[in-house]
Structure 1
Amino acid sequence: MEFSAAGRLEVRITAADVGKRVSVRSLNEHAPSGERFTDTVGVLTSWDNGVLCLTRRNGDSVRIGESALVAGKVVPPAPARRRGPAASYEELARVAARAWPPLESEPLGEWELRGAEGFTRRANSVLPLGDPGMPLDEALTAVRRWYAERGLPAYVQTATGAEGTQELLCAELERRGWVREVTAELWVGALAPVADRGEPSGVVLSRQADEAWLARYRRKGVSEVALKVLGPGSPRSWGSPRSWGSPRSSEAESGGEAGSGGEPGSGGGPSVWFATVPGPDAPAAIGRCVVDGRWAGFAAVEVDPAQRRRGLATAVMAALARRALDEGASAAWLQVEEDNAGARALYDRLGFAPHHAYHHYRAPESSAPAGDGSL
């Protein structure tokens, strides 16, 4: 906290610091003795009518009465991770978007409206990287109209916890009654250590999500749309090359171009691989990897409950990582929900660490999806 020359704590923030990362200490008069002070670090998203609102790294909002402030100061952006490749939020957001490509998209200023008939919120939400080109209320009206025309709930995907993330937009959405659903985190790590873990000899890699792979995939009744989002080569899916949606990354250190079109795997776009550990009736384990320039994105790593604790998830990721290294990738990312303790422990052992949290906000008049409730 901030001390004055006389050694006293001081409040050195004002309403002019909205949008900055701050650290505050506040008094809780009703707390037990010795626990009366609370320290909070987050982005100051508002200071109105004597109440401060801070958004923490995980997206939670904290309201603090101005009269309860004991000390406060502006602090630097969240410190860099102790491990893992360096990356901006925007680079990772675009890479992750290309890994779950919508069937259709449309720009709204610098925002991207994405739709895939409801399969996974990641392909059925607005990606707001920049300015929508109009006042926020007008932009949200356009968003609701676009999704209503498609019979879909309106979602905006936001992020918190890293430099350049959208704490202010989250606060504005909450003030307008948008509901936050399914908070998750995007983790990053070096790719080579993943490839060195586990014994991938029993893992079969394919360009196709075949019937055996789908038998293990946890979302039952996989539709035509889901197959198209999962990746080219899936049964009954692609009839022709298609767009991969988001603009390519301009990162100079990328191992290759993250193209915006063309047949995946041909040098013009992300390359998709599916991993299977065969089993007697259905695969013992599966996984999916999207190779996009320097990045390899892991998803759908699932193991038969009866076969867990045998290192199969690690073997699947190792096999996919080796393939991604062969294609020029050097860094890895994945998405994991807050309450998935087993997956988080595995990814921590493999050298991954959280980069930022991301959230899906649903419009107050939109009903929650009746089908797929995934990220």
Structure 2
Amino acid sequence: MRSPRLSVDPKLLEPIADRAWPAAEQFRMGGWRLNASVGFSQRINACWPLGRPSVAAPRAIEAVERWYAARGLPPRFKLTDRAVAPRTLAQQLEKRGYRPANRTLVMVGPCRGEADTGVLLEGAPDPAFEAVFTATAGGNLADARERLDALRRIGPPALFARIEGEAGPEAIGASAVEGAWAGVFAMRTAPDHRRKGLARRVLSTLLHAAGGEGATRAYLQVEANNAPAIAMYEAAGFSTAYTYAYWTTGA
């Protein structure tokens, strides 16, 4: 049974999450945050409409479409539970042919973990960390490069964890700390080393280290259909706080 949702205001957490996974290019249109990179990671290639735009919504939507078209990217809107402005935006997007996809859970839990001497911690992704990340990218090297670039842009304090085996690196994870919150990202395990509990060790070490940086709560994003990952995070004390979906014309 899944844990009950925690009371977390997405209007407070979403800006932190936006800063934690920095896009290559960012633009503000009032309360709308426009992010653009290469085009793979949806969070850094989408408009986050967290507050009122600087112009009326129909004109703002058109401006977003022009902004992404100028960069050779499809327009994409990240609509988050209880944090969409204006509230009628979903209906307006639907009339323009947009549809939701990729429902994602934002899970929140305590920074409660244990140090593990078998998990190495660094302040930046090193070649071994990058090797695991690239090996788990499904053969899409451009996608891996875009996400690694985002990881390199995380401001301090940033934490990069890695388990090193006899034959090389086996599992990785990263965390971005801002105030009382720690974001967990890039949880990857090399294909030959899955189902060994390595991800749990990485997560526990990251949470412990983030607590040492002053964080008391952690958050992460996981696709709603990723049952194994959700179960692991629930076992670590995480529960779903809210959800979001990406709206595009190609859904």
TM range (shorter): 0.7 to 0.9
Check the 8 A contact 1:83/1:189 in 2, yes or no.
no
Is the Cα–Cα contact under 8 Å of residues 291 and 327 in structure 1 kept in the other structure? yes
Q: For residues 241 and 147 of structure 2, what CA distance do their matches in structure 1 show?
A: 27
Alignment of 1:1-375 (within 5 A): 82=4, 86-160=7-81, 163-165=82-84, 168-192=88-112, 195-196=113-114, 200-217=116-133, 218-219=136-137, 220-221=140-141, 225-232=146-153, 264-265=155-156, 271-362=157-248, 364=249
Deviation at 1:281, TM superposition (A): 4.0
Cα shift at 1:169: 2.1
Distance apart, 1:208 and its partner CA: 2.0
1:139 Cα deviation (Å)?
1.0
Shift of 1:133: 2.6
Normalised by the length of structure 1, the TM-score is 0.60
For 1:211, the aligned partner's letter is P
Q: Taking every aligned residue pair, what percent have the same amino acid on both sides?
A: 35
Cα distance in 2 for partners of 1:280, 1:180 equals 44
CA–CA separation in structure 1 for the residues paired with 2:176 and 2:57: 33
Q: Give unpaired runs (5+ residues) of structure 1.
A: 1-80, 233-243, 245-263, 266-270, 369-375
Cα offset for 1:134? 2.2
Secondary structure class of the residue paired with 1:298: strand
- Distance, in Å, in 2 between the alignment partners of 1:94 and 1:282 is 36
SS at match of 2:208: helix
The alpha carbon displacement at 1:117 in A equals 2.3
For 2:191 and 2:61, how far apart are their aligned partners in 1? 42
Q: Which runs of 5+ in 2 are unaligned?
A: none
Point out 4+ residue stretches in structure 1 off by more than 6 angstroms.
Answer: none
Q: Which amino acid aligns with 1:138?
A: R
User: Secondary structure of the residue that 1:143 maps to in structure 2?
Assistant: helix
Larger radius of gyration: 1
| Shift in CA distance, 354/326, structure 1 to aligned 2, threshold 3 Å | same
1:27-70 CA-to-partner distances (Å, cap 9, x unmatched) read: xxxxxxxxxxxxxxxxxxxxxxxxxxxxxxxxxxxxxxxxxxxx
In terms of fraction of residues, the more strand-rich structure is 2
Over the residues paired in the alignment, what is the CA RMSD in angstroms? Answer: 2.2
Query: After superposition, what is the alpha-carbon deviation per residue over 1:233-278, rounded to whole angstroms, capped at 9, x for unaligned?
Result: xxxxxxxxxxx8xxxxxxxxxxxxxxxxxxx32xxxxx22111111
